[in-house]
Amino acid sequence: MEQSAMETRANGEAAGSYESRNDLALRSAASDPAAEPRSNPPNARGPASPHAQQYSKSELEAAQPLPEPNAQSPKSKHSRKTSRNGPKAGHLQPQDAPNSHISSKENGSPSRSAANQAMASSLPDIILRRNELFDKLKRRRHAEILEKEKAEINVVLEFGPDKQGKPRAAMPVAAKAWESTPGSFLKHVDKDVCSDVVIAKVDGKELWDLDRPLEYGCRVSYVPFSTAEGQKVFWHSSAHVLGEACECQFNCLLSHGPPVRQGFFYDMAIAEGQVVKEADWAPLEKKATQFFKEKQPFERLHVSIPDLKEMFGYSKYKMYYIENLLPPEGSTVYKCGTLVDLCLGPHIQNTGKIKAFQIMKNSSCYFRGDKDDDSLQRIYGVAFPDKKHMTDHKKFLEEASKRDHRKIGAEQELFFFDEVSPGNVFLLPHGTIIFNALQKLLRSEYHKRGYQEVQSPNMYDVDLWKRSGHWQHYQDDMFSLEIEKKKWALKPMNCPGHCVIFSHRERSYRELPLRMADFGVLHRNEASGALNGMTRVRKFQQDDSHIFCTQDQITQEIEGLFDFLKCIYGLFGFPFKLELSTRPEKYLGDLETWDVAESKLKEALDEFTASGGGQWELNEGDGAFYGPKIDIGISDALMRDFQCATIQLDFQLPQNFELEYMTAETGSKPKANESVDAQPDGSAGSSSKPKAPGPGRARPVMIHRAIVGSFERFMAVITEHFAGKWPFWLSPRQVLVIPVMPTVNDYAEEVQQLLRAQKMHADIDISGNTMKKKIVIGQLAQYNFIFVVGAQERESRSVNIRNRDDQETQSKGELIPLAEAIRKLKALRKERRLTNSI
């Protein structure tokens, strides 16, 4: 099952990837807040923050369930270990130094407050020299821009719908290249829109600083805080303010500070032997508040590699990013107040936009997520454009903490972890019941939908991974071992093995589409610092499937997958949203093949929309290099978004493994649309040409598909979605039988045995506790139903039922004949209803 690395990292154990850890490290180091697919929220089962529906991709921080993966830059085979020499633990000694160059009127920077100047003067000389170099380069760049021709350009302002949902008309505005900025057009924007603007977007694609001059004619829209993109930019900017406060307070070496799902963090090295304490939070918040009042502008500057090395030569962490992760042409840096940092941006206009700021926690971490590298301090925070958002956010966190799958997992004895096998979950009997119920659900659908279940080896010769392309790009994420002088690797995905199964004998067009499903165990060498509950593990299983078909069958297969998604997610009450990602700049294959594939996916998406399946979004240029893909986002009860499912077309693996099938036209050349050999027209990969299919033979298309993705991660999601109150068909504790007195224990045991004979999970409490205490214990354990039996029930062969979700039955249950109760429970289980009602 293939999936891009950004998706894989953000969504736990989804599917395979060709993107390396270094690619991820660059994105993390540069704090690039990439947009994520959103989905419409369901009816919340608990208080939800108004911004909560924007969270996706990925997992909540430790104070909440489903934490965001540790945003450290992961290790890479080719990465350079950072030296432990130099400043002790990165600590910088402050020196007395003039600070006149920190604030320069000729640079256009506002004069700073006395407090800020005092902070600046207390910074080490090397930090002051860094800032002086920035100001020097900024003045040079300003002079270059003044020399550029200020030609008239066509700019059109685009607006979203108004409060009533009615579309707003686009507005052409007069503009000049290298002079007009998106921020200068805000005077044309309604106040209700303007007040919530965080950042601009150019031509519907590129996020753009509000104060950055436009360079060409374009369409400009404005991104509010209420969107995922707006929140990420806002929190990214807030992270820079936290970094500025940390430099001033600790004289530390900053590593990186990206936005995450519920705010942001910053990693840093402080004086050897020291750690950040909770007592440090208030001074940091005080400094940050002062910076907000100063309305420090965010200044953007593109800097060459030589100048970057001069600017950040004091920091081994910044030098690692510069030397290993940045392109040869250099990168951008941003300045706010006394902080200058490597960053792709973009950012809010100034720090005055931040009205509420709070540090949430601190912890230790490793640079690049490598336990053999430097130990750093990490500080987490959250910020909002108003105080009401902060109040709502705290309520949201309180509810989310109650639903934490780790907390519920321990309380309900579902699973645990142990240091004897870090990152590998121990499923207890009750957790295994849920796991098996999910597999049973999928197997029943596989049978209806024509899937064939297979089993493939857990370990392969590395030659297989070299042939598939994974070894070149993914080996750092694989567990490898040497046996009899040969190198082997545990599989992190099933797709190469399924290609071997397809190719082990002749295949005919009559066998297509061939839908292959596999619940095999997968292993991925996740960094120890990234492991977190069941959302990020090293050993996992998923509902992995690969469909081998002809190009003519793509639309029909995709439509079938949409129906599959609707069926499965509907059982859990998950609404979902679809996003099509198309051909990237670097791709494999010919344009005609890509165009045909994308048109077929769009056709299937449009058909799904027409049938009431909801709208889909286009994400141009973000497909995998081996084929377009459809990402599926779901929303849980707290309106948090996750991506579990993915659908990807792959032209590359069938070529790598030279997969073929016999066409209907035996002996003739295959039709153009039947051969999907991936030629490197987009310059992505090797230029070696594969062996083309012979006469009467063609290359199949491969569709990678997962619905729930990792079972472990999906269990974490639904644990929090249901808050541990499982629907009957999925519940590990369906019925608790409680006898009123010992003399009816025999009838209680008979009731239990009759329920178990119907394969229901029924327990009995014949302890010495009072009946009231037994009922309370059963309610706390979240049994769906409690059957209370006494002499009357035994005499009439009935049960007194208390429904977990029906308060009216809690004090006094409903008397129902036992046979009727069993019949209704069987119907409830068979129909897989969400409501706990018989």
- Which residues are catalytic, by number? 495, 524, 542, 544, 546, 629, 704
Name which of 396, 390, 391, 386 is nearest 196 in CA terms.
386
Amino acid occupying residue 816: I
Q: Rounded distance, CA 232 to CA 260, Å? A: 7
Asked if 295 and 308 touch (Cβ cutoff 8 Å), the reply is: no
Structure-block tokens of residue 196: 């919530």
**Alpha carbon separation from 249 to 243, 259, 282 (Å, rounded):** 10, 21, 11
Phi, psi (5° rounding) for residue 442? -70, -40
Q: Cα separation of 444 and 466, whole Å? A: 35
Q: Which residue has the tokens 């061939």?
A: 514
* Longest CA span, the chain: 99
CA distance 138 to 436: 61
Tell me the chain's radius of gyration from C-alpha atoms.
29
Indicate the helix (H) or strand (E) that contains 277.
none
Three-state DSSP class for 310? helix
> Of the candidates 771, 734, 811, which has an alpha carbon nearest to the alpha carbon of residue 433?
734
Contact 293, 110 (CB under 8 A): no
Cα–Cα distances (Å) from 816 to 741, 784, 785, 813, 819, in that order, read 19, 16, 13, 9, 8
Coil, strand, or helix at residue 773?
helix
- Please check whether residue 459 is in contact with residue 487, taking contact to mean a CB–CB distance below 8 angstroms: no
The string over 254-282, giving b where at least 16 C-beta atoms fall within 10 Å of a residue's C-beta and e elsewhere, is: bbbbbbbbbbbbbbbbbbeeeebeeebbe
Q: Report d(CA 248, CA 423) in Å as an integer.
A: 37
Burial class (CB in 10 A: 0-12, 13-18, 19+), 482: exposed
The amino acid that residue 560 corresponds to is G
Q: Are 698 and 660 in contact (CB under 8 A)?
A: yes
